Amino acid sequence: MLNNLTFQVFIAATLGIVLAFGYQLIEPNGIEMVDNSISLLKGAFLALLKMLIAPMIFFSLIGGIISIGNVVRLRQLGGITVSYYLLTTGLAITLALVAVVFVHPWTAYPPIMASMVDASSARLLNPGSDSILAVLETMASLAFTNPFSALVNLNILGIVTNALFMGVAMVLVLDENSPLFRLVVDANKIIIQVLRWVIRVLPIGIFAILFDFTVRLSGDDGLGGTFLTQLFQFGLLVVTMTLIHGLIVLPAIAWITTRMSPLELLQKIASPLLVAFSTSSSAATLPVSMRAAEDNLDVSPGVASFVLPLGATMNMDGTALFEAVAAIFLAYLYGIELSGVMVVTVFLMAMIASIGAPGMPSASMSGMQMVMLAIGIPLEAIAILLVIERPLDTIRTSVNVEGDLIGSLIVDRYLKR
Ligand code: ASP
């Protein structure tokens, strides 16, 4: 249990809050040394997370696309597979956005971070401009940027677009033995190793972040407690909506298209779902998903080896749903009023961010920053999500993997028909 990351994060979070309260009681005015050390830890940890975003998204996405391996399959299966991915991810985000319109218990409390918004924080929309065309124009100019500038400036939309173009072009024009394929696979291995190291220190980061938030908020009439309640409510809504998508929406789509009953389906894919739940990684679950698809769902190996690896990086319904709810939740906490156009922006950004996120634990935190920037939420808000991120990742990864498996079933039956 002591080696379990989620458990460590839980302990670190509790320690951060309890020690911060104690610290406030003993030293209401704070001690400079302590404050500075906490701020150093927090800053270093957030910088560490940011360090990996650009290469991680870039290589993981190209890696996902080149796993398709050959042009013929890309032509045969590409269209239907990608349509399925986009449709189900869009459904998940719509579900999330409709749900938050009706259920947003955190608004019973004040937007406690409102004073922390930096008026100059970047956003896709100029305040006051309320036209979807303006958003699309900004998105287009960000998307079609040269790859080097996108990587250097952490322009995630640009990184995703370039990776998509390059990945597809690689499959179309390069020989299957080209060393470039090898290069991308190896680059991914290296990045994943570095990410593992970063994740090892997650508990330290969480400790510092929570200590800092509690000290900053507890000055204000017990706002620390309010914040935790709001966070809990947010987590509960995400879990509920993710379960609805995973237990009702996706099985219903499978039933409508293939007539496989939800119970039979869930039984047949239970083992990859459990592996996804316990590893929080779609990529790590891939071998088990392949076996379940071929042996239990009777999906042909050609389809499974196309749809599943691509889905493990591109198709993440749980992640998209989480990011959409998180954006709306954070916007409220920071007192940012959302117009209709901003909600549409959240939709589009959550979609792109979920496509860009690699199938690794907590990987969606990278794309989440793009969603936040788009509507003017300060980047430091990522710290709020990190606090509750670990337990939520288990369920959303299972739903991500479920989406891929159902995709392979549908594409397979469609082709057989
Ligand atoms: N852990 C997720 C996955 O591997 C990605 C994420 O949402 O962080 O599918």
Question: Over the stretch 368-416, which tens digit does the pLDDT of each residue have?
Answer: 888 888 888 887 788 888 888 888 999 999 999 999 999 999 999 988 8
Pocket of ligand 1 (CB under 6 A): 280-282, 316, 319, 357, 359-364, 393, 396-397, 400
Q: How big is the CA angle at 239 (ends 236 and 244), to the nearest 5 degrees?
A: 125
pLDDT grade for 118, boundaries at 50, 70 and 90: low
Count CA within 13 A, CB hemisphere, residue 14: 6
Nearest to 176, CA basis, from 68, 81, 79: 68
Nearest to 284, CA basis, from 176, 393, 365, 181: 393
Q: What is the pLDDT of residue 149?
A: 93
Q: What residue type is 5 in one-letter code?
A: L
**Tally of residues, the chain:** 417
pLDDT grade for 144, boundaries at 50, 70 and 90: very high
pTM of the model: 0.85
pLDDT grade for 218, boundaries at 50, 70 and 90: low
Tell me which H or E stretch contains 348.
helix 340-356
- Residue 133 alpha carbon to ligand 1 centre in Å: 31
Whose alpha carbon is nearest atom 6 of ligand 1?
364
What ligand 1 atom has the least distance to the C-alpha of 319? 7
Direct distance between the N- and C-terminal alpha carbons of the chain, in angstroms, rounded to an integer: 48
- Rounded to an integer, what distance in angstroms lies between the CA atom of residue 54 and that of residue 303? 30
Task: Fill in the DSSP letter of residue 260.
Answer: -
Strands, DSSP E only, in 237-302? Answer: none
pLDDT grade for 221, boundaries at 50, 70 and 90: low
Task: Fill in the DSSP letter of residue 124.
Answer: S
Give the Å distances, CA to CA, from 60 to 55, 63, 275, 321, 383: 8, 5, 21, 21, 24
pLDDT grade for 229, boundaries at 50, 70 and 90: confident
- Residue 210 alpha carbon to ligand 1 centre in Å: 23
Q: What radius of gyration, in Å, describes the C-alpha atoms of the chain?
A: 21
Place of tokens 């879990």: 239
Which of 355, 360, 365, 366 best tests ligand 1's pocket when mutated (most atoms within 8 Å of CB)?
Answer: 360
- Residue 104 alpha carbon to ligand 1 centre in Å: 24
Which of 5, 238, 282 best tests ligand 1's pocket when mutated (most atoms within 8 Å of CB)?
Answer: 282
Asked if 300 and 310 touch (Cβ cutoff 8 Å), the reply is no
- Which position has the higher pLDDT, 322 or 218? 322
What ligand 1 atom has the least distance to the C-alpha of 280? 1
- Rounded to an integer, what distance in angstroms lies between the CA atom of residue 208 and that of residue 109? 25
Ordered by where they begin, the domains of the chain are: 5-416 (1.10.3860)
Share of the chain above pLDDT 90, in %: 38
Contacts of residue 211, Cβ cutoff 8 Å, sequence gap at least 6: 16, 17, 19, 20, 23, 38
Q: Which two tokens stand for residue 78?
A: 């590409």
- Which position has the higher pLDDT, 331 or 122? 331
Place of tokens 């009777």: 298
